[in-house]
Amino acid sequence: MKKAWCLLLLCALCGWAEAQGDAVDIRYAQVSGGEDPHWPYIQALLLLACSEMGQRCALIPDRDMNQGRAMEQMTRGDAGVDVFWGMTSREREQKLLTVRIPLDKGLIGWRVPLINADRPRLFLGVNSLRQLAAFRAGQGMDWPDTQILRSAGLPVSTNPDYLNLFSMLRQHRYDYFPRSVIEVRQELESPNSQGLMLEPHLLLHYPTAFYFFVAPRRPELANMLRLGLEKGLADGSFERTFHAFNDEHLRGLNLSGRTIIELPNPLLPEATPLSRRELWFHP
């Protein structure tokens, strides 16, 4: 039922956009290729921001690239990628225009491990950061998460390609792949997760935000997205969209029955709007 409602919402937003005048082009980086589990929700938020501003937007995918390459292209100042979405860090906020509205309401920092299905009891009895440090995590080479885990004393293996991390886990080249609670269910349904399972005991948490980052040459786009999302927050449409796309992902994860291991986030910028309670969700 939720999936059908989400499709109807996207169709309505797309149909509304088509009915408007000249479009604002938004060229986005495909930082996870065609397998990005966030894309349906992100697409809905981009279209929501546009509709709230009375603006038609044309969403144009650029070629596949990792997050580091996207940031490099955006900071060069020439035509190319306008926006990508991802976890914040001081470096990203210094180099790019940041729309400081957590698209995921902070859920990107709540992480459950993917593990090999042939090791279902891997973390049985593990309930502290010190115990977790005996195992190796897998992460993207240029993801802020990698620095967060390492700064907490956790060993990390990296790869520049998101999809390669799944095959690396199947090959036992590392022990677990921490995934956010709003992406792991979709990932488990993908053929890439064959032979993998959701670890049933642990829940990692670090404070962070998942933002739109905009190329410095497009300040008008950053301002439009910020104002549009703020309007969506004020009229309730942002909240409705958030729950429509994300409630289903949280079901079945048994979050209240998991052992939480807190990790500090040395990359969290001081400008993070932690005081705005309406921007955050606690599972």
Q: pLDDT tens-digit profile of 194-207?
A: 999 999 999 999 99
Phi and psi torsions of 94, nearest 5°? -75, -35
Tell me, what's the pLDDT at 21?
56
Cα radius of gyration (the chain): 19
Enter the pTM of the model. Answer: 0.83
Average pLDDT score, the chain: 90
Distances (CA, A) of 245 to 105, 127, 183, 185, 239: 12, 31, 11, 12, 10
Q: For the domain bounded by 107-205, which CATH number is listed?
A: 3.40.190.10
- pLDDT digit string, tens, across residues 87-144: 999 999 999 999 999 999 999 999 999 999 999 999 999 999 999 999 999 999 989 9
Same CATH topology for 2-105+209-250 and 107-205: the answer is yes
CB 65, CB 31: distance < 8 Å: yes
Per-domain residue ranges for the chain? Answer: 2-105+209-250, 107-205
Q: For the domain bounded by 2-105+209-250, which CATH number is listed?
A: 3.40.190.10
pLDDT tier at 16, thresholds 50, 70, 90? very low
